[in-house]
C-alpha cells in the first residue's frame, strides 16, 4: 500500500532526525565541549544554551510525529477492508498566535522581582500533520505577550477537522538536564512497521533510554482545540486550557499564562481551485430566443459559461455565471436537461441547461449535487468571501529579541481613525479640545491648563477624541504641525 509506505518513510526520516538531535545533545552535555574561556565566554555560553534548547525541541517534535505516524499505521491496517467515502478537502492556516502573560505589576513595570526566564514553542496538530513554531527565548518579565510570527499551513483537511495547539515551555536554569521520555513509543511499535524500520527504531530508542540525562525537558503546559466554527478572516480570542501538571506545579516553575490566547484560523476549500466538471453545455434562453451552444465549468461553487472551448482556453471572462449554494435546488427535467433554481432578491429564478447526452447530463447533475452538499459541510465560511490563507515564510527568528515585543494592548487605537479621503486633517485644538482663538498656534500654557489642571485621571479622558467632535473636523482649516500646505 502506497500510503503505508509513505508513512514508513516518514518514520525513517524522523528516526534520522532523532539520531542527529541525540548526538547534538550529547555533544553539548560533554564538559570538554561546553567549557568556554577567554573574552568570548558569555557569547559561547549563550550559543551553547541555544544548541541545547533547539536540539531538545527537535527531539520532542520527532517523538510526537513518530507517535502519530505509528497510530495512523495501526488504524489503516485495522481498517484496510473498510470502504472509505470521498470527502471534501481544503487548506487550513494558523497564524498570529499570541498568549498574554500574568506578571505582577512590580515585575513588569518596575522591572524587578521575578527573574525567571523561559523558552517556549508550540506544536499544531491535525491528524498526522504536526508542525512546530519557532522557539521564543528568553521569555521573561519584560514581555506582556508571547507572540509567534509563524504561519502554519495544513493541506488535505476535511471540514470536520480538529486542530490541537500544544504549548511547551521550560524554565531556563544553569542545569538543563532531564531524563528522556520516549518509553510510550517503544510500547506501541508491535507489528505496525516493517522489520527493517522496526530494528532501527528499537535500536534508537534503546540508546536513548540508556542515557538518563540528555537535555532540557519541555513540559506541556497548555492546550487548545480549534474547529471549523473558529475560522474567521481576522484574529479572535480562544480558550487556553492549562494542563493539570502546569496547574499543580510550584508557582516558581511555571509560565504565568492567562488562560486565553489569540490566533487567526483561516479555511480555504479546494473546490475554489479544482474544477469538478467541465464540458459542452448550453443554457436554454427564456422565451422564444434561440439556444446558444457553449462550454461550461463547475468550480468555486458556480457554473461559468463561455461561447466555446477556445474562449475558455484563452482565459476570457465567462459570459454568464450561476451560483451553486446550499439554497440551490437542482433536478433533471428531462434526460438531457438540468435545472437550477436560486432565490435571487426574493424571486425564485430557474436556469435550464442542456447537455449533449443523457450520460453528460447525469454527470453534471451529480457534480452539482456534490457541490451543494460540500457548500453545506463547510458551514459559515461559505457565507462570505473566500478567506486569505497565511503562507509560511522564512521569517523565523530564533533566540533573538533585541527590542520589546508588541503587546495586544499596544494595538488599541487612542484616537478614532480618520478617513484618508477627507480634505482636511484634525488640528491640535480639535484633539485636545482647546478653544479657538485668534492665535492659531497653541502655547505651552494651553496644554498645561488643559491637560493637567484636573489631575492625571481627567487628562486621560480629555485626550480622547469624542464621536461628536469628529464631525466638526471637516469644517475647520488644518493647522497640523509639519503638514503640507
CA distance 163 to 269: 16
Q: Are 461 and 454 spatial neighbours (Cβ–Cβ below 8 Å)? A: no
Residue 354's SS3 state is strand
Instruction: Based on the fold, state whether residues 62 and 125 are members of the same structural domain.
Output: yes
Q: Which of 240, 269, 267, 270 minimizes the C-alpha distance to 94?
A: 267
Q: What is the pTM of this model?
A: 0.72
Residues 132 and 149 in one domain: yes
> Can you tell me the distance from the alpha carbon of 34 to that of 47, in angstroms, rounded to the nearest whole number?
10
Mean pLDDT for 68-87 is 83
The answer to whether residue 437 is domain-embedded is no
Q: What is the pLDDT of residues 251-299, one digit of tens each?
A: 556 888 988 999 999 999 999 999 999 999 999 987 666 666 799 999 9
Q: Residue 474: pLDDT above 90?
A: no
Closest CA to 368 of 331, 333, 342: 331
Q: Where a domain ends, among 347, 378, 409?
A: 378
Residue 146, domain member (yes or no) = yes
**DSSP letter, residue 392:** P
Nearest to 214 by CA among 30, 67, 44: 30
Residue at 409 is within a domain: no
Asked if 97 and 262 count as a contact pair (C-beta separation under 8 A), the reply is: yes
CB contact set of 392 (below 8 Å; sequence gap of 6+): 150, 151, 152, 153
In this structure, the answer to whether residues 257 and 341 fall within a common structural domain is no
- Domain count along the chain: 2
Clarify whether residues 344 and 228 are in a common domain: no
Identify the pLDDT of residue 134: 95
Domain end residue (candidates: 236, 254, 271): 271
Q: CA-CA distance, 275 to 280, in Å (whole number)?
A: 14
Confidence of residue 109 (pLDDT cuts 50, 70, 90): low
Query: Which pLDDT tens digit goes with each residue over 81-104?
Result: 776 677 899 999 999 999 999 887
- Round to whole Å and give the CA distance between 133 and 136: 9
pLDDT band for position 115 (50/70/90)? Answer: confident
Calculate mean pLDDT across residues 300-316. 93
The verdict on residue 189 lying in a domain is no
CATH number at residue 331: 2.30.29.30
- The residue among 363, 378, 393 that closes a domain is 378
Q: Say if 194 falls within a structural domain.
A: no
> Which positions ≥6 away from 248 have C-beta within 8 Å?
none
Return d(Cα 43, Cα 327) in angstroms, integer: 64
pLDDT tens digits, one per residue of 356-409: 999 999 999 999 999 999 999 999 999 999 999 998 874 443 333 333 444 454
pLDDT value at position 24?
A: 82
State which residues form the domain around 106: 1-29+45-72+86-175+210-271
User: What band does 178 get if pLDDT is binned at 50, 70 and 90?
Assistant: very low
Is the pLDDT assigned to residue 478 strictly greater than 50? no
Is residue 186 a part of any domain in this protein? Answer: no
Looking at the structure, tell me whether residues 54 and 154 fall in a common domain: yes
Please classify residue 460 by burial: count the beta carbons closer than 10 Å to its beta carbon, then call 0-12 exposed, 13-18 middle and 19+ buried: exposed
Tally of helices (H runs) and strands (E runs) in the chain: 13, 19
Q: Is residue 303 a part of any domain in this protein?
A: yes
Q: Residue ranges of the alpha helices (H) in 222-295?
A: 244-248
Assigned C-alpha cell, 23: 548526538
Residues 167, 134, single domain; the answer is yes
- Residue 243: per-residue pLDDT: 83
Q: What's the CATH number where 148 sits?
A: 2.60.40.150
Domain-embedded: residue 467 = no
Give the SS3 label for residue 149: coil
Amino acid at each position: 500500500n502506497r500510503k503505508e509506505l509513505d508513512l514508513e518513510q516518514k518514520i525513517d526520516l524522523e528516526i534520522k532526525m532523532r539520531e542527529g538531535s541525540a548526538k547534538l545533545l550529547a555533544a553539548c552535555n560533554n564538559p570538554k565541549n561546553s567549557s568556554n574561556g577567554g573574552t568570548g565566554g558569555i557569547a559561547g555560553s549563550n550559543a551553547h544554551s541555544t544548541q541545547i534548547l533547539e536540539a531538545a525541541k527537535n527531539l520532542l517534535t520527532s517523538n510526537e510525529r513518530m507517535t502519530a505516524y505509528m497510530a495512523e499505521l495501526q488504524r489503516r491496517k485495522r481498517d484496510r477492508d473498510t470502504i472509505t467515502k470521498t470527502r471534501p478537502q481544503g487548506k487550513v492556516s494558523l497564524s498570529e498566535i499570541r498568549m498574554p502573560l500574568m506578571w505582577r505589576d512590580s515585575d513588569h513595570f518596575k522591572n524587578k522581582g521575578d527573574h525567571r526566564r523561559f523558552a517556549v514553542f508550540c506544536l499544531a496538530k491535525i491528524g498526522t500533520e504536526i508542525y512546530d513554531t519557532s522557539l521564543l527565548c528568553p521569555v521573561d518579565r519584560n514581555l506582556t505577550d508571547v507572540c509567534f510570527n509563524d504561519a502554519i499551513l495544513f493541506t488535505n483537511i476535511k471540514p470536520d477537522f480538529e486542530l490541537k495547539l500544544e504549548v511547551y515551555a521550560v524554565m531556563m536554569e544553569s542545569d538543563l538536564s532531564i531524563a528522556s521520555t520516549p518509553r510510550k513509543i517503544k510500547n506501541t511499535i508491535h507489528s505496525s512497521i516493517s522489520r527493517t524500520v522496526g530494528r532501527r527504531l528499537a535500536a534508537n530508542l534503546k540508546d536513548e533510554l540508556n542515557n538518563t540525562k540528555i537535555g532540557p525537558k519541555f513540559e506541556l503546559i497548555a492546550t487548545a482545540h480549534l474547529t471549523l466554527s473558529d475560522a474567521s478572516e481576522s484574529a479572535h480570542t480562544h480558550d487556553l486550557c492549562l494542563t493539570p501538571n502546569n496547574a499543580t506545579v510550584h508557582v516558581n516553575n511555571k509560565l504565568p499564562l492567562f488562560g486565553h490566547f489569540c490566533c487567526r484560523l483561516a479555511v480555504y476549500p479546494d473546490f475554489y481551485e479544482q474544477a469538478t466538471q467541465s464540458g459542452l453545455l448550453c443554457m436554454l434562453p427564456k422565451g422564444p430566443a434561440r439556444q446558444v451552444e457553449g462550454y461550461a465549468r463547475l468550480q468555486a461553487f458556480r457554473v461559468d459559461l463561455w461561447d466555446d472551448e477556445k474562449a475558455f482556453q484563452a482565459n476570457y471572462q465567462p459570459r454568464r455565471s450561476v451560483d451553486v449554494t446550499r439554497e440551490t435546488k437542482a433536478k433533471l427535467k428531462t434526460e438531457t436537461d438540468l435545472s437550477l433554481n436560486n432565490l435571487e432578491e426574493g424571486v425564485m429564478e430557474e436556469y435550464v441547461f442542456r447537455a449533449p447526452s443523457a450520460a453528460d447530463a447525469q454527470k453534471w447533475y451529480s457534480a452539482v449535487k456534490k457541490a451543494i452538499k460540500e457548500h453545506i459541510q463547510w458551514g459559515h465560511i461559505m457565507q462570505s468571501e473566500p478567506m486569505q490563507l497565511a503562507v509560511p515564510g522564512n521569517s523565523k527568528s530564533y533566540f533573538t529579541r533585541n527590542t520589546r515585543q508588541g503587546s495586544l494592548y499596544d494595538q488599541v487605537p487612542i484616537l478614532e481613525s480618520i478617513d484618508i479621503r477627507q480634505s482636511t486633517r484634525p488640528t491640535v485644538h480639535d484633539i485636545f479640545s482647546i478653544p479657538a482663538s485668534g492665535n492659531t498656534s497653541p502655547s505651552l500654557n494651553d496644554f498645561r491648563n488643559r491637560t493637567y489642571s484636573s489631575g492625571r485621571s481627567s487628562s486621560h479622558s480629555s485626550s480622547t477624541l469624542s464621536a461628536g467632535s469628529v464631525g466638526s473636523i471637516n469644517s475647520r482649516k488644518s493647522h497640523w504641525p509639519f503638514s503640507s500646505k
